[in-house]
């Protein structure tokens, strides 16, 4: 969590840093702050920080003349210490010469802090970060990178640190362990940030730092070392989307824009996957056919909405490949010591590629010699780099905290991976694989059609927006989407929402249903749909207000639906890609009708890099 920016160049640093923070605010919005170094006149290091959203910091900066072409900035998701002004970053040392921003948690900070206080340092915040500023103060003898390296070696936990020193007008130093830090390589200027969105307005050439590396950023160039100070080579990559992709483009919220971008995002993800020989190609995976044939078991690990995509993947892989699949939350996986070996495929699904629980699951799986494949949207992310193979969804940047188009592209990805495994293992012949792929290729147009029908769903969401509890029911392939619909509503509208398998409700949850309780039932055509019609009757008999999502032309549900949301027909296994859309629209509209900010729901941050 937390967004970090560093800049050195010729432009006014405050503008560059604030622009970067605006793009990173989705990572945390408990407080924000900047430090700008002006080398003229002996060097002034100005630090301004404010609790609350970035707008509070911008208001505090308004009218102030802060010049300088070197700066760092931070937008915070609070861990140690309440979200107050004094806990906001940057933090400074006793002399005020060093300013530092930090993402992560320093686990041995209490002991470090105690030592510092005994040695006479005065710490003024409750954060773990401030201790690092004072430690650098102790180690600094004119060589800032050396001081940072020496301090990093003593820190336990996860961190990205970006540091500036008043005596170093052409130097920003960054360091990383377990969390993302990307260098933006410009011409006469260079950038550091938690992700590339912060600097793509200036450069699209980037380099991701590896574990325990320290970067020295100067106007003239970038040098990366390990913690011993040895220079290390690394690869740069080109970001193939531009600033327009990270703008709201006339929408009130990123989330609304990202929902509309879904047809294009799916087209990008599935495009170019059929080779001249008519076979499905996922070249980037570079797994040998022999390895694929050797898999005896699959685990899918993920968190939150990505976990729901994984649940859909289970249905697809089991159906097409006849391989047993378990889907597990990243936060649970490694703690129960699952049975893994070289014949186990572990698929880690993560939009950000940085979710701490999923990353730890990847590490655990690799230690146990399992074969790890990442499905992620983020090039160069930790999960991508630490996996044996990567399937990149090509969804473009997702800025809204609630995941929409990323989930949609993850669904495309799990279907493609399922078909690919089936093709290589020979459990489906090539004609059948091609036919399923062609069905998948029709989905972008069908999503466009669903999007064009959403007025009724929006109105319904506004009408129901005073409700405090909504249930979501599904069966079979509809069940993961019931979970997703409930999660979206919880996180955006702060109402109690539960997703359940419809067949289970008579074992307890049906007691929740009272006169007028809104229940969304995902009843598109599939094998269990007739049983679902019975479930709808059961809840309606107990007073539920039924909102039924059904396939065009299916009249079996009509008598039992208080509200109908119609979707075009598609193959039942692919139906989650259509069902998802009204659930997203419903949750967003419901929350907006309650006056809530759907891009930045309370207490959340997009990239959950703490356990
Ligand atoms: C919900 C949401 C989260 C993420 C989860 C995993 O809308 O966005 O539940 O899906 O935090 O994040 P990634 O996919 O980045 O690992």
Q: What is the pLDDT of residues 99-119, one digit of tens each?
A: 999 998 888 989 999 999 999
pTM (2 decimals)? 0.85
Res 91 pLDDT > 90: yes
User: Which percentage of the chain shows pLDDT scores above 70?
Assistant: 100
Secondary-structure breakdown of the chain: helix, strand, coil percentages, each rounded to the nearest 5: 40, 25, 35
Q: How far is the CA of 304 from the centre of ligand 1 (A)?
A: 5
pLDDT attached to residue 272: 86
Pairing of strands 172-177, 182-185: unpaired
Query: Residue 603: which pLDDT band, with cuts at 50, 70 and 90?
Result: confident
pLDDT attached to residue 51: 95
Helix (H, G, I), strand (E, B) or coil at 188: coil
pLDDT attached to residue 420: 96
Cβ proximity of 301 and 361 under 8 Å: yes
Ligand 1 pocket by C-beta < 6 Å: which residues? Answer: 303-306, 350-352, 355, 358, 402-403, 487, 491, 607-608
Q: Give the domain 452-593 fold.
A: Rossmann fold (3.40.50)
What ligand 1 atom has the least distance to the C-alpha of 378?
A: 15
Locate CATH 3.40.50.10490 in the chain.
Answer: 253-441, 452-593
Res 455 pLDDT > 70: yes
Nearest to 122 by CA among 100, 95, 154: 95
Domain 3-240's class? alpha beta
pLDDT attached to residue 267: 92
The CATH number that domain 253-441 falls under is 3.40.50.10490
Q: How far is the CA of 228 from the centre of ligand 1 (A)?
A: 35
pLDDT attached to residue 277: 86
Nearest CA to ligand 1 atom 9: 304
Query: Residue 326: which pLDDT band, with cuts at 50, 70 and 90?
Result: very high
Give the mean pLDDT of 402-412: 98
What ligand 1 atom has the least distance to the C-alpha of 410?
A: 14
What does the alpha-carbon distance between residue 246 and residue 268 come to, in Å, rounded to a whole number? 17
Give the mean pLDDT of 565-586: 97
Q: How far is the CA of 3 from the centre of ligand 1 (A)?
A: 17
CA atoms within 13 Å, Cβ hemisphere of 100: 29
Residues noted as catalytic: 2, 606
What does the alpha-carbon distance between residue 185 and residue 190 come to, in Å, rounded to a whole number? 5
Cβ proximity of 588 and 598 under 8 Å: yes
Res 13 pLDDT > 70: yes
H helical segments located in 120-201: 129-139, 144-152
pLDDT attached to residue 42: 64
pLDDT attached to residue 192: 98
Instruction: Pick from 258, 259, 303, 481 the residue to mutate for probing ligand 1's pocket: most ligand atoms within 8 Å of its CB.
Output: 303
What ligand 1 atom has the least distance to the C-alpha of 376?
A: 14
pLDDT attached to residue 610: 72
Nearest CA to ligand 1 atom 11: 304
Q: How far is the CA of 350 from the centre of ligand 1 (A)?
A: 7
Give the mean pLDDT of 343-352: 97
Q: How far is the CA of 31 from the centre of ligand 1 (A)?
A: 22
Res 365 pLDDT > 80: yes
Nearest CA to ligand 1 atom 10: 305
Res 304 pLDDT > 70: yes
Locate CATH 3.60.20.10 in the chain.
Answer: 3-240
Query: Residue 1: which pLDDT band, with cuts at 50, 70 and 90?
Result: confident
pLDDT in tens, 218-242: 999 999 999 999 999 998 999 987 7
Give the mean pLDDT of 77-86: 84
Nearest to 601 by CA among 471, 495, 499, 470: 495
Nearest CA to ligand 1 atom 7: 402
């Amino acid at each position: 969590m937390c967004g970090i920016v560093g800049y050195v160049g010729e432009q006014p640093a405050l503008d560059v840093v604030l622009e970067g923070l605006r793009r990173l605010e989705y990572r945390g919005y408990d407080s924000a702050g900047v430090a700008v170094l002006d080398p003229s006149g002996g060097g002034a290091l100005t630090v301004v920080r404010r609790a609350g959203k970035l707008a509070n910091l911008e208001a505090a900066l308004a009218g102030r003349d802060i010049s300088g072409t070197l700066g760092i900035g931070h937008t915070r998701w609070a861990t140690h210490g309440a979200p107050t002004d004094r806990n906001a970053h940057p933090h400074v040392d006793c002399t005020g010469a060093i300013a530092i921003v930090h993402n992560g948690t320093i686990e041995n900070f209490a002991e470090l802090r105690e030592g510092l206080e005994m040695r006479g340092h005065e710490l003024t915040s409750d954060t773990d970060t401030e201790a690092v500023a004072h430690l650098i103060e102790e180690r600094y003898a004119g060589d800032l990178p050396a001081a940072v390296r020496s301090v990093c070696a003593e820190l336990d936990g996860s961190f990205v640190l970006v540091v500036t020193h008043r005596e170093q007008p052409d130097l920003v130093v960054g360091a990383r362990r377990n969390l993302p830090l990307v260098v933006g390589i410009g011409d006469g200027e260079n950038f550091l940030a938690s992700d590339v969105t912060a600097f793509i307005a200036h450069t699209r050439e980037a380099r991701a730092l590896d574990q325990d590396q320290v970067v020295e950023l100067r106007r003239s160039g970038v040098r990366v070392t390990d913690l011993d100070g040895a220079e290390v080579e690394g690869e740069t990559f080109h970001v193939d989307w531009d600033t327009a992709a990270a703008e709201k483009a006339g929408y009130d919220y990123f989330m609304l824009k990202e929902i509309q971008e879904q047809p294009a995002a799916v087209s990008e993800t599935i495009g170019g996957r059929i080779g001249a020989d008519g076979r499905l190609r996922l070249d980037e995976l570079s797994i040998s056919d022999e390895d694929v044939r050797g898999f005896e078991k699959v685990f899918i690990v993920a968190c939150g909405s990505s976990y729901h995509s994984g649940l859909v993947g289970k249905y697809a892989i089991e159906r097409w490949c006849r391989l047993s699949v378990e889907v597990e939350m990243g936060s649970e996986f490694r703690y129960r010591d699952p049975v893994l070996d070289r014949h186990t495929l572990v698929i880690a699904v993560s939009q950000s590629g940085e979710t701490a629980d999923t990353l730890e699951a990847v590490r655990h799986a690799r230690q146990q010699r399992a074969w790890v494949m990442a499905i992620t949207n983020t090039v160069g992310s930790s999960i991508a780099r630490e996996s044996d193979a990567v399937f990149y969804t090509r969804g473009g940047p997702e800025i809204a905290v609630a995941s929409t188009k990323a989930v949609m592209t993850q669904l495309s990805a799990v279907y493609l991976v399922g078909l690919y495994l089936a093709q290589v293992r020979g459990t489906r012949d090539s004609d059948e694989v091609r036919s399923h792929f062609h069905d998948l290729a029709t989905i972008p147009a069908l999503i466009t059609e669903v999007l064009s029908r959403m007025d009724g769903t929006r109105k319904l969401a506004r009408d129901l927006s005073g409700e405090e509890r909504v249930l979501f029911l599904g069966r079979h392939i509809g069940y993961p989407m019931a979970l997703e619909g409930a999660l979206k509503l919880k996180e955006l509208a702060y109402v109690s929402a539960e997703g359940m398998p419809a067949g289970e409700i008579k074992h307890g949850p049906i007691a929740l249903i009272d006169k007028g309780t809104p229940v969304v039932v995902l009843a598109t055509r599939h094998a269990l749909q007739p049983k679902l019609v019975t479930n709808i009757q059961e809840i309606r008999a107990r007073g539920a207000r039924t909102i039924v999502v059904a396939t065009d032309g299916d009249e079996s549900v009509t008598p039992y639906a208080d509200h109908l949301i119609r979707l075009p027909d598609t193959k039942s296994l692919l139906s989650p890609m259509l069902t998802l859309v009204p659930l997203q629209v419903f949750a967003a509209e419901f929350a907006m009708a309650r006056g809530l900010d759907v891009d930045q729901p309370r207490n959340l941050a997009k990239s959950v890099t703490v356990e």
